[in-house]
Chain A
Amino acid sequence: MKSVAIVSGKGGTGKTSFTAALSVIAARKLRIVVADCDVDAPNLTRMLLSGNSEVKEEKTFSSEKAEIDKRLCKKCYACINTCNFGALRIGKDGFPEVQKIYCEGCGACTLVCKEGAIRIARINNGKIVYGKSKYGFCFVGGKLEIGESGSGKIVAEVKKKACEIAKNENAELLLVDSSPGIGCPVIASLSGVETAIIVTEPSISALSDMEKVLKVIEHFGIKPYTVVNKASINPKLKKKILEVCSKRKIEVIAELPFDEVFIKSVNSLTPLPLLTQKYDKVFEKILHCFLE
């Protein structure tokens, strides 16, 4: 099975609309599984599973946080001095208080607490969802609870489920829609795939971010391709992107213009090929490129 991650660095370049369209076109010819790994803003899930009543859900417990038992605590504050994440502070009642946003659940505090007043508890930090999309292929997505950490771990669970389903279905292709950025969830999205498509746009921000995400992709030895989306918004910068790609020997496998039909696709939660056939050939060509 081939596996491809769709990344961008910058948000809003069109990763999700692109992945939705590519999925629908790919599913016409291949057995595919699609994974939404943007667990912070799971919009592909919104699009592909909207109106689907047979969606299964599983809670994830991939976050761990310290919990202090005030009955045992002697207020020695050893925990506060030990925490390398600044996640403990003195609360209003004088007891140490865990700031959940910062706690990594590492357990260092439990090691220094002589009273045994701290334990590490598993926290429900999100969920994964899966089912068959309206368009015939299997789909897995995830959602992180607001303010939680461990998005990389949920991404890993989404991908694990996707691989499991892919194996059962004997799938030929796995498509992974990543989150923006270059951190933990993006690295988790890239882990184990052999190909990455960078969806970029001709803007100075997207160009700068493309180079950052490219460094990460190359760091992990993954083969990158580029798609220039909204190519018509700035011809000068489009040229620049093509130059950067050519210099780094990265194949630009498609250029898509700025077209209102993409907005319509997002707003109606309908993948592009169901609204217009004019880009079908472009997506078929993209598929062909990395399936070769």
Chain B
Amino acid sequence: MIICILSGKGGAGKTFVACSLAKKLSRFSKVLLVDADVECPNASLFFEKKLADAKTVSGFVPEIDEKRCKLCYACAKVCRKNAIFYAPGKVPVIFEELCNSCGACIIVCKQNAIKKRKKKIGEVKKYEVSENLKILEGILREGEEEPMPVVKELLKEVGKISREFDFVIIDAPPGVKCNALACIEACNLAIVVAEATTFGIADAELAIRACELLRKEFFIVLNKLREENEIKEFVKAYGEKIVCKIPFSTEILHAYSAGRLPEINEIKLLVKKAVKGK
């Protein structure tokens, strides 16, 4: 059973819900917690853990062999990222920051003058929290633009080992762009964490639309709930989809800010739902 936790808005409580759910489920089953917010992964901060494995995620950048280059500039013309610059009469120059490692330049070069050079773009780390709980964390290297290759590598790793676990909980990145959708696509069940504010609800609706687009079953957790009045239309529209409502509490806020996961009853409802879903 693979569960993806998403929200649309950042700071809605994805990591809190993902970690609390993983911790609770790991009391009686084998759980893999996956931190797919590779730009800012935080889930592992909430656990005492041992690093069990670390893999480098690499991309490549093309490198031009000056001796072979016949100055045809086919490489520069084919590059849709405009990462290859040329001045007539000179060997083209590659701007690594703009390159997305598509390899089109290598294909068009008739002289075979372009080779691949490996480049580290991130890491996938595996941690051991307990016999029952493991964490897989993707990390994008600072300064790199594109998180997708790290997310893909992470999900590939999940695919390899998910059978060893009863539950896989994916903490997705905020937003609804392609990297978040890749996480939704990998799951059997999505949990949308909706922060109970005007911003939070609007972004949660985007996340819900993303689930519908990929035809994934989903349910909703309302988080930091103050007055239901503020969001009554949302509650009305998604009535039975909302399986739990976590009230706003300064105790949770304090504990969570310090890296603790306070036990709250609402998570039990989620555990029930997850077990039933299995």
Contact = CB atoms under 8 A, between A and B. Distances in A.
Contacts of A205: 15, 40, 42, 45
Contacts of B203: 41, 43
Contacts of B256: 203
Interface stretch (B158-166, B171-179, B233-241): B171-179
A208 B259 CA distance: 11
Nearest to A14: B11
B9 A112 contact: no
B174 A41 contact: yes
Interface in B192-237: 195, 197-199, 202-203, 206, 209-210, 213, 226, 230
Given A82-B107, A102-B148, A144-B177, A236 B10 contact: no
B233 to A, nearest CB: 13
Contact of B253 (A106, A216, A233): A233
B60 to A, nearest CB: 9
Interface in B89-105: 100-104
A111 B107 contact: yes
A258 B254 CA distance: 11
A223 B263 CA distance: 41
Contacts of A216: 142-143
Given A46-B202, A106-B80, A237 B258 contact: yes
B192 to A, nearest CB: 13
B117 to A, nearest CB: 14
Interface in A142-175: 144, 146-149, 151-152
B80 A107 contact: yes
A269 interface: yes
A236 B254 CA distance: 11
Nearest to B259: A204
A182 B39 contact: yes
B108 interface: yes
B34 to A, nearest CB: 17
A282 B146 CA distance: 36
Contact of A151 (B8, B100, B177): B177
Contacts of B145: 152, 183-184, 187
B140 A183 contact: yes
A85 B197 contact: no
Given A9-B40, A182-B140, A203 B257 contact: yes
Interface in A203-244: 203-205, 208-209, 212-213, 215-216, 219, 233-234, 236-237
Contacts, number: 186
B257 A215 contact: no
A101 B12 contact: no
Interface in B55-91: 78, 80-81
B210 A146 contact: yes
Which residue, B100, B104, B199, has most C-beta atoms of chain A within 10 A? B199
Given A102-B182, A106-B100, A40 B11 contact: no
A3 interface: no
A10 B40 contact: yes
Contacts of A101: 178, 181-182, 185
A254 to B, nearest CB: 19
Contacts of B148: 85, 102, 149
Contact of A105 (B80, B175, B181, B259): B80
A271 interface: no
A202 interface: yes
Nearest to A44: B199
B49 interface: no
B183 to A, nearest CB: 10
B176 A40 contact: yes
A219 B142 contact: yes
A180 interface: yes
B157 interface: no
B39 A183 contact: yes
A152 B97 CA distance: 13
Contacts of A84: 101-103
Given A16-B199, A184-B146, A209-B42, A147 B8 contact: no
A82 B42 CA distance: 35
B175 A179 contact: yes
Nearest to B106: A108
A11 B174 contact: yes
Interface string A46-90: 100000000000000000100000000000000000101110000
Q: Which 3 pairs of residues, A with B, have the shortest CB-CB distance?
A: A12-B11, A11-B10, A40-B175
14 contacts: A9-B40, A41-B174, A43-B199, A82-B103, A106-B102, A144-B176, A181-B40, A182-B39, A184-B147, A204-B259, A212-B39, A215-B142, A237-B258, A263-B197
Interface of B: 8-12, 15, 37, 39-40, 42, 45, 78, 80-81, 100-104, 107-108, 140, 142-148, 152, 173-178, 181-182, 185, 195, 197-199, 202-203, 206, 209-210, 213, 226, 230, 250, 253-254, 256-259
